[in-house]
Amino acid sequence: MNDTIEGVVLQSLRYGDTSLIVRVFTRNFGLKSYMVKGAFNRNAKNRAALFQSLNLIEYVEAGRPNKSTLGYMKDVHLSTVYQNIPATMNKRAILMFVSELLSKTITEQEQNVALYDFIVQSLKWLDLVECDYANFPLFFTLELTRHLGFYPKANHETGFCFDMMEGSFARDYPLHPYYFDAESATLLAQFLGAGINESCRQPLRVSQRRDLLDGLIVFMRLHAPVMKDFHSHEVLKSVLE
């Protein structure tokens, strides 16, 4: 009997006229890649719409793909159908941001159940929440650093800055330019250890929210070099209000 695999689509790239190459982050097997033949055919069982970025899917694996070969999928269906994200422009912009963030940072094939569950639970929360989600990109980016192994140290004190290179708060400003000043560091400290609801209810001015996100992207780039060509946070200017 074939086992059903749970996954979140990270990326799908058109291959030829009718096919797709799909990267899926799975709950039990980590990152996997597949060839989906005929996805753009009118009568295809596995249609291209199933593989939009960050769709939550279930499927059965056909064959035994390894690091050098692409696998195939069958019996693909959505495990969760988003109710509000497709119809909400701001949420779609956030989804684009999250999609690029994950595509840039999830590069290893190892299983990471905690990371998978965090992604899925966060996406479901974003889909269903009706308001107070402008801080979601801040919460998600910061929590992702925890799963990637460079979450900031919770050693903040009044007047401290945040040294991005060291990943910790400090009394003295560093000689390099990668830091949050004392005001931004205080705001950052308020997010540390906070859950999604608490984080998204933190009162921030538009300028504060944008500065924090820009800073967190710099922090990610310093510790995850694959982030150097990251751009989608710029589309969030209309969301971070």
pLDDT of 178 above 50: yes
Tell me the per-residue pLDDT of 100-148, one tens digit each, with 9 for 90 and over. Answer: 999 989 987 789 999 999 999 999 999 999 999 999 999 999 999 999 9
Q: Which of 56-65, 148-157, 179-188 has the lowest mean pLDDT?
A: 56-65
pTM above threshold 0.85 = yes
- 103-129 b/e with 16+ CB inside 10 Å = b? bbbbeeeeebeebbebbbebbebbbee
Residue % of the chain over a pLDDT of 70 = 90
pLDDT of 200 above 80: yes
> What is the average pLDDT value for the chain, to the nearest integer?
90
CA distance 31 to 42: 29
Please say whether the beta carbons of 91 and 84 come within 8 A.
yes
pLDDT of 1 above 50: no
Q: What is the mean pLDDT of residues 28-48?
A: 88
40: its two tokens = 């753009």
Q: Which domains does the chain have, with CATH numbers?
A: 4-80 (2.40.50.140), 85-238 (1.20.1440.120)
